[in-house]
Amino acid sequence: MYRFTVDGDPGLRVAVILIALILSFAALKTGADIFAPMVLALVTGVMLAPVTDLFERIGFSCGLASSTVLILGVSAIGTLAILAEPLIWQIVEELPRIQYELRSIIAEISNLIRGLQEVNREVGEALGAAADAASETSEGGGMPNLTSALFLAPLVLAQALVFCGTLFFFLLTRKRMYAWLSLWIGTSDDTQDILRRFTNAERLVARYFLAISCINAGLGAALGGALFLIELPGPFVWAFVAALLNFVLYVGPMTVAAGLLLAGIVAFDGLMAVAPPAIFLFLNMIEAQFVTPSFVGRHISVNPLLIFVSLVFWLWLWGPIGGIIAIPVLVIALALLDIFAVDATVEDPAP
């Protein structure tokens, strides 16, 4: 009987690996409703593992520590939703005014370019089409109706249950899981080294994201203080949102800047409307160029190309959830490969 093997043909081995990867990604894409919250829970569990260990050290049982961390995490998410709800409804109610202000701003800009009559005509037609589309949306009920919300609710609830269940059981059994994976992946001689990689990766990733969390909290505090000084409504809600979305590189800051532009248009007149996003972009530039490299880059350095590719891939695969887990998954993978450990131990050559 002929036995299929790829040991003697490197090209065939590569082809099999590529086919396996394609099928795996296709499965992840197809089962996004299940796999996305599960992976998000695993990433969250790695970052919250030191908190669970802390509760265990002060006398909590493993189950009680995992339950406490889960309850605290869900409470934090619920608090964020409660704080953000008034801001979201305020923006929804102010959409007609936002549209009017945007049209006014564009009209003022177009008046400065008097020589470009063709451009002015096209802009005017585009604004007219946008106004008609907005009118049709308003008349036709562009906001989700009750039926759509009822159909969407079970999916959201199911994903929330998958997330909570996966997070709880990962925190409860992660040490046994690491030991089992260490035995299953390598030989008996490699078990201790693989287990060390798992524990070091968990510790390094947790420390990395603790540093990033502190930096983002500082960014949010600075933004909240600045928005309070210029009297933008809800400054500390914006600070909280900016601190959270800053975990999603590129996309998060762009979303915050766009939201602050809308908030500025609602709250202020004239050029003052661009003050909130300008303040945020200035603070974000300082954070990205000086603060983060100073506190994180000395020990952990991730290639910007890898960050960008990971972000694009996971956003394509799972949308917003993919954007949240893109950087954590990349950092965990690099930590498991001991790349950060190598970088941290490299010293300058002696002169």
The pLDDT tens digits of the residues spanning 110-119 come to: 666 655 555 5
Confidence of residue 79 (pLDDT cuts 50, 70, 90): confident
Residue 3 counted as domain residue: no
| Per-residue model confidence (pLDDT) at position 1 | 46
- For the chain, how many residues are written? 351
- Rounded Cα gap, residues 74 and 239, in angstroms: 20
Q: In this model, does residue 330 exceed pLDDT 70?
A: yes
Which of the four pLDDT bands, split at 50, 70 and 90, describes residue 146?
very low
pLDDT: is 107 or 35 the higher one?
35
Residue 265 lies in a domain: yes
Residue 241 confidence (pLDDT) above 80? yes
* CA–CA dist 156, 77 (Å, integer): 14
- Examine the pLDDT at 104 and tell me if it is beyond 70: no
Q: Considering the domain boundaries, does residue 22 fall inside one?
A: no
Domain membership of residue 206 (yes or no) is: yes
Residues 6+ apart with CB under 8 A from 80: 240, 244
Closest by CA position to 34, among listed 177, 181, 166: 166
155 to 104, 148, 276, 317: CA distances (angstroms): 41, 12, 36, 18
Percentage of residues in the chain having pLDDT higher than 90: 11
Domain that holds residue 194: 32-132+153-345
The angle at the Cα of 314, spanning 176 to 185, to the nearest 5 degrees, equals 30
pLDDT at 173 over 50: yes
Total domains present in the chain: 1
What is each CA distance from 235 to 80, 217, 284, 336, in whole angstroms? 14, 14, 16, 40
pLDDT of residue 109: 63
Q: Is residue 96 part of a domain?
A: yes
pLDDT digits (tens, 9 = 90+) for 267-296: 887 788 889 999 999 999 998 888 877 776
Structure tokens at 7: 């040991």
Q: Where are the alpha helices (DSSP H) in 186-267?
A: 191-229, 235-245, 251-267
Please determine, for residue 257, whether its predicted confidence score (pLDDT) is greater than 80: yes
Q: Round to whole Å and give the CA distance between 293 and 7.
A: 44
Q: How far is CA 189 from CA 192, 198, 342, in A?
A: 7, 16, 22
* Cα separation values, 94 from 217, 232, 276, Å: 29, 15, 17
CA 233 to chain centre: 25
Domain-embedded: residue 1: no
Instruction: Please indicate, yes or no, if residue 311 is contained in any of the structural domains.
Output: yes
Which tokens sit at 182?
Answer: 């260490």
| pLDDT at position 85 over 80 | no
Cα–Cα dist 315/307, whole Å:
12
Is 212 domain-assigned?
yes
Q: Is 231 helix (H, G, I), strand (E, B) or coil?
A: coil
The answer on pLDDT for 137 being more than 50 is no
pLDDT top residue among 16 and 131: 16
